[in-house]
Structure 1
């Protein structure tokens, strides 16, 4: 009976850890920390966060940070640590590395600072953060493959996969969904995945090499914004536009232009704006002692030349 009492008390303590969060927060700052500031995708997250700040009537002040590059994991760890040291009210975090960010998020939990993860998660078995807002990346990768395969029809040959940060939770799941789907089709050969470290120029050079080394390539996939932009530029420069099926991911102006001119057959677009807006609003709900969902799917839209001007597509493009 004593053991059951101890267990019950522990569960109660964990469930109420954030119930009095507003009492513990020493500031009204909500820190939004993303993988990199140098991307339209993450700047769109910022727009969403600032929209939430305005709609909340100034109750919280939003700070926005990200390292110069998505591979600067140590810098992101420092940013989270510094936010904890500032006694922020809450943290909205897009984790650059699923393992390196576990301890900083745990530290926030120990300091009773709620954390909402967006876009890319951490390998903590659901512990230490209160909610995860993201695209279902495996499903999104699968969708990209299905659209690519439908456009490809019965054509057989090699398919290139241009990914971004090795080890990133979103990259693993997105690439996994794409690769697993393509593997089910006979007569198609998946080339070794290339990683650009989310650098457009690297993706451009890698794609150029892939195209030059594989004249029998029939399709190619670019798995995030800078990678897809670099891929699109290479496809266009090497004269492959319209000759191979090319599908990108995310939806900045450059990618929209590639869809309009036929360089890309389509793009899978996440709602990065909603990640920022809902991320901040979820922190606010936690601080208001409201129950929040553990996972919130922010969804995707597949954008082609046929639907790019539709209300649905324009709602996620940036």
Structure 2
């Protein structure tokens, strides 16, 4: 090799070594394992799609799978991510307590774990950060919407909940806190007389509402922890001929929920921003991978969506 060629080779090597990138050395082979509560719910599909898109921008491949609400299935999915030596694991727990052992396995393997939408606040696990809606604040917003919808009147209301999911627990907790404060001074009190599990699904919300109406035929309101549950409640109320007598407050802001609000079938929703969640959890991983300390929670506020918002929404019919 002559001297000129040698010097040119050294220059190219130095230039190559000087380049920096936030992409992994073998980007196409490095994955972020993502196990979401259920991809049957459009809300989680939006989260998964945005995680995949944002991860691709940074040279990672997101392997997005559905737990279908089954903690055993989710545990097996996480074990698979651990075996594959995923760069990170993102999950929305199907059961915040039941998922603890496999999170601990990921911790022991040195794989950073993030939660999205549904937190895991159980002791004994290491979560880098929890990217989620401010569910407690959203629950408080839902209660204010219920008070507004009833126009100063009291009465009996029901709650369609999902007690195994932490985010839903927080929504109901916030809802109850505001109602308690309202009832402390209001002459017309709003009384929660029934709490039933809607499974976060339309069919279960329908059945739970039927059961609720049989036991409490004089309900004036229902708070459902998500849009599928609220839409199921609406169906049951229509069948019972009580659709115009019971105010429904949902949660989420899925397209179907927003359309129902515009059509006057649901009074209002504290809406979430699943696209932001998906993007922010990947950005949180990138910040963590560069050694940055992150807060324990990264909460995204809700916004109350009423009929007037639906009327002005160009995405709706």
Same structural fold, with TM-score higher than 0.5 when normalized by the shorter chain? yes
**2:134 matched residue in structure 1:** 136
Q: 1:257 to 1:211 in 2, by over 3 A?
A: farther
Tell me the TM-score normalized by structure 1.
0.83
Are 2:140 and 1:169 equivalent residues in the alignment?
no
Residue in structure 2 matched with residue 64 of structure 1 by the alignment = 64
The equivalent residue for 1:108 is 106
TM-score relative to the length of structure 2: 0.83
CA separation in 2, counterparts of 1:54 and 1:84? 20
What are the superposed Cα offsets for residues 265-296 of structure 1, whole Å, 9 maximum, x if unpaired? 11111111211121122112222223323210
Report what 2:49 is aligned to: 47
**Quick check: 2:75–2:99 contact (8 Å CA) kept in 1?**
yes
State the shift of 1:100 in Å: 1.5
- Cα gap change, 1:27 to 1:126, in 2 (>3 Å): farther
Q: Which residue of 1 aligns with 2:254?
A: 252
Q: Does 1:193 pair with 2:198?
A: no
Equivalent residues of 1:41, 1:225 under 8 A apart: no
Q: Which has the higher contact order (CA 8 A, sep 6+)?
A: 1
Pairing of 1:178-217 with structure 2 (within 5 A) = 178-184=175-181, 185=183, 187-217=189-219
Alignment of 1:17-166 (within 5 A): 27-56=29-58, 59-68=59-68, 70=69, 72-125=70-123, 127-164=125-162, 166=163
The count of aligned residue pairs is 287
The Cα offsets for residues 75-100 of structure 1, whole Å up to 9 and x where unpaired, read as 11111111111100001111111212
In structure 1, runs of 5+ residues without a counterpart are 1-21
Separation in 2, partners of 1:270, 1:176: 17
Instruction: Classify the secondary structure of the residue corresponding to 1:255.
Output: helix
**Preserved contact between residue 196 and residue 202 of structure 1 (Cα < 8 Å):** yes
State the 1:143 CA deviation. Answer: 0.8
Q: How far 1:158 moved relative to its partner?
A: 0.4
